[in-house]
Amino acid sequence: MEFELKTPILFLVFNRPSTTKVVFEAIRQARPSKLYIAADGPRKDKNGEVELCNEVRAIATNVDWECEVKTLFREENLGCGKGVSEGITWFFKNEPEGIILEDDCLPNATFFRYCAELLERYRHDTRIMEVSGNNIRPEKYCNSPYSYSFSDHNGIWGWASWRRAWNLYDYEMKYYKKIKERGYFRKHFSSVYEEHYFQWVFERTYLFPHITWDYQWEFVKRINSGLTIVPQKNMVVNLGFGADATSTTNSNTPSSNLKAALLEFPLKHPKYVIADKEADKHAFITHMTTKTSRLKSRIKNALPYSIQNKIFHFTMSRFIESQVKDQETLKKLKEKSTLKIFSFTSLFMYSLKLEPEIMVLAML
């Protein structure tokens, strides 16, 4: 019996006609009965972006099959944080579950049925918060007899979820400061590389939420012990690597060379629900670290925790100083942060108190 896609799809688009056209064709082949399209508005300081956004919207609404279409087209630009997250919130206000694709995430034909079946299977299982189409794990961790496994990590290059899970999303990360102060993330991660990485991106995202939307989702999943379903084979390719991308600017990374493979049906379901932490660990090392970053983490980890904190405070302060020049804004960040935020003068004076070895590490 031929599969019929009744699961709603949210298509998140912006200003890239070339990738939008390719991903929309994959959606057209799947022929969903409901399609939601959310588009952020053009930036006022970018010449030609109005025309690009209009072209993208025309592509994404060129529906030639029987389908209920709903749109959320912004006139103003909300950015990578609210532009995406508010689009997803709008989607889940209208639907209890669904599939989410951004304009540069190209799924293969089996992705849609995989998502639909697992959304139904785990609909009321609050342990599961996300169904991902991504598998970035090394090959030796992809030989399970089952069609999928579980992970602590996000996989948002083509994914699906439920309203019950997204209702926990918190753009402002209001519980972050309390969790950080109580040390709940100490030894929580599968490697020191992962711990140092998320220590940085969670603090940065907490202070500057407009930069992105997905680390807030990662944080919410972590503090609710929410699991991600990972397919046995990768099913989505990211087309967006390159200089014009927002975050995937480096086209020479392992993630930029992922291939998509078809999943076999019927799905073979695992007999247990537990994250494969070893696979998570090596996926993170492969795709999210470099030799230099791993060396820095190992050196830092050999130091007393109090010294590690000093290094982190120093480097984060340097980052904030690079982002914020207005003193009133800096004052507000100081009140919000879990760290001691320095002015330029006090930052310099503080650096004089650090041991030379710590200064070298902090400046790397």
Mean pLDDT by 10 residues, the chain (364 residues): 92 97 98 98 96 98 98 97 98 98 97 98 98 95 94 97 98 95 88 95 96 98 97 94 52 72 97 96 95 94 90 87 87 79 45 47 49
Q: Are residues 344 and 276 part of one domain?
A: no
| Structural domain contains residue 4 | no
Under DSSP, the state recorded for 255 is G
Query: Quick one: pLDDT at residue 253?
Result: 67
Query: Quick one: pLDDT at residue 246?
Result: 54
| Structural domain contains residue 1 | no
Q: Are residues 55 and 199 part of one domain?
A: yes
Domain tally for the chain?
A: 2
| Structural domain contains residue 2 | no
Of 292, 326, 346, the residue at which a domain comes to its end is 292
Nearest-angstrom CA–CA distance, 102 and 52: 16
Burial class from Cβ neighbours inside 10 Å (0-12, 13-18, 19+) for residue 285 reads middle
Kindly state the tokens that stand for 214: 């997905």
Q: Are residues 199 and 327 part of one domain?
A: no
- Torsions phi, psi for 69 (to 5 deg): -115, 130
Of 292, 319, 352, the residue at which a domain comes to its end is 292
Q: Are residues 166 and 106 part of one domain?
A: yes
CATH number for the domain harbouring residue 158:
3.90.550.10
Query: Quick one: pLDDT at residue 357?
Result: 47
Greatest alpha-carbon span in the chain: 72
Q: Are residues 137 and 26 part of one domain?
A: yes
Nearest-angstrom CA–CA distance, 200 and 312: 8
Element (H, E) at 171: none
Q: Are residues 177 and 93 part of one domain?
A: yes
Q: Are residues 350 and 209 part of one domain?
A: no
The CA R_g of the chain, rounded to the nearest whole Å, is: 21
Q: Are residues 336 and 223 part of one domain?
A: no
Q: Are residues 159 and 98 part of one domain?
A: yes
Q: Are residues 239 and 129 part of one domain?
A: yes
Domain housing 350? 303-363
| Structural domain contains residue 158 | yes
Q: Are residues 206 and 257 part of one domain?
A: yes
| Structural domain contains residue 298 | no
Q: Are residues 235 and 254 part of one domain?
A: yes
| Structural domain contains residue 3 | no
For residue 228, the cross-strand partners are 130, 151
Query: Quick one: pLDDT at residue 346?
Result: 47
Of 265, 292, 319, the residue at which a domain comes to its end is 292
Q: Which amino acid is at 347?
A: L
Query: Quick one: pLDDT at residue 83?
Result: 97
Nearest-angstrom CA–CA distance, 45 and 164: 38
| Structural domain contains residue 168 | yes
Under DSSP, the state recorded for 275 is B
| Structural domain contains residue 297 | no
Query: Quick one: pLDDT at residue 186?
Result: 83
Query: Quick one: pLDDT at residue 245?
Result: 46
